[in-house]
Every structure is written in structure tokens, then in C-alpha cells.
Amino acid sequence: MASVVAMVRHGYPYLVNFCRPIILILAFTGLRRSVKNILLSLYDSLVILISISAYVVIYCLVGYSFFRSGNQGLTVFTDMNSTMY
């Protein structure tokens, strides 16, 4: 009966598409192990990503504070958003 409803109904199956990866991860041990390894490696690389982001933000803050008082700094670094780019 559910397949008939799915064929007749023309809406997009949001809930089914959301549940598919969860069901696959729960059903297959190899897939579960791979997802676990990916999440562990992402957790390990999170320190590197935070360090790079902090470096960029600190570099922008230093550049903004040093060069905004000069004439070129007023034209190039008008606000903090433009300093990032």
C-alpha cells in the first residue's frame, strides 16, 4: 500500500531521503566503520583548521590596527569586512 501511495503522490519525499543514509549506516558494518574513520580524521584535522582560521583573523586584526591610521589604510581598510579580503 505504501508503494502505491508513493507512486500516486507527486510530492518530494523529504523524510525518506533524510532517513536513507541513517538506515544504510545502521545496516552495514563496513559503512559504519568508514564513517567512524572519517569522523575521527575530521576531529583530528579540526585543530589545524581552527589554527589556520585564527591565524587569518589575527593577521587581519593586526593589519587593520596598524594601517588604518594612515592615508592608504583609510582607503584600503574601510571596515573589518574589507580587511578580510
pLDDT per residue, tens digit, the chain (85 aa), is 555 555 566 667 778 888 888 888 888 888 888 889 998 999 889 999 999 999 988 988 887 777 777 777 767 777 777 766 6
Q: Quote the cell numbers at residue 77.
A: 581598510
pLDDT score at 76:
72
Q: Is 18 helix (H, G, I), strand (E, B) or coil?
A: helix
Residues in the chain: 85
Q: Quote the cell numbers at residue 63.
A: 593589519
pLDDT score at 50:
94
| Nearest to 35, CA basis, from 25, 44, 21 | 25
- Quickly count: other Cβ atoms within 10 Å of residue 15's Cβ: 8
37 within 8 A of 45, measured Cβ to Cβ: no
